[in-house]
Amino acid sequence: MKATSGNLRLDQEYDLVTVHYGMIACQNCGHPLRNIAEVVGSDDGKHYFIGLDCASTLTGIKADKVAQAKKMMARMAKHRKEVSKGYYGYVKVVGEWARFYKNDTVPANRWVFQSKFANYQDLIEAGSQARAKWNEDPIKVEQVSSFD
């Protein structure tokens, strides 16, 4: 069943471009969001930021793509929680991308997950404070030229 109401046009198809974490109001229904889907209209070429539930009602967006996006957002929520609790001791940053390592000693290719640094930057201070409570070093963030 596809949407019959909302702010987005119903006479065009949409494509799901990406999903990310933030805090905005859905441009379709107006509900506050944390998990944001970026969609683009096929006719007008405009980008819209909407919730995944609204995205699943739009013409052109397949249900499996929305399901994959929901799984990815669940993984991101798990990682955000782990970062804020100080689970990772080292973050390597190249441009806008970051790799998170469990310990501050980094053997090659032993990173736990990779994501855009901006999605986690606000949590690193909280994670460092959590690590201090356990008498551990703060999270070390290092800007490097490449992931070796």
Domain boundaries, the chain: 14-75, 85-143
Residue pointed to by tokens 């080292």: 90
User: Which pTM value belongs to this model?
Assistant: 0.72
What is the reported pLDDT for 1? 38
Name the strand (E) or helix (H) holding 93: strand 90-94
- Cβ-Cβ contacts under 8 Å for 122 (sequence gap 6 or more): none
**What is the longest distance spanned by two Cα atoms in the chain?**
58
pLDDT digits (tens, 9 = 90+) for 75-122: 888 998 999 898 888 898 999 999 998 876 666 568 888 888 888 888
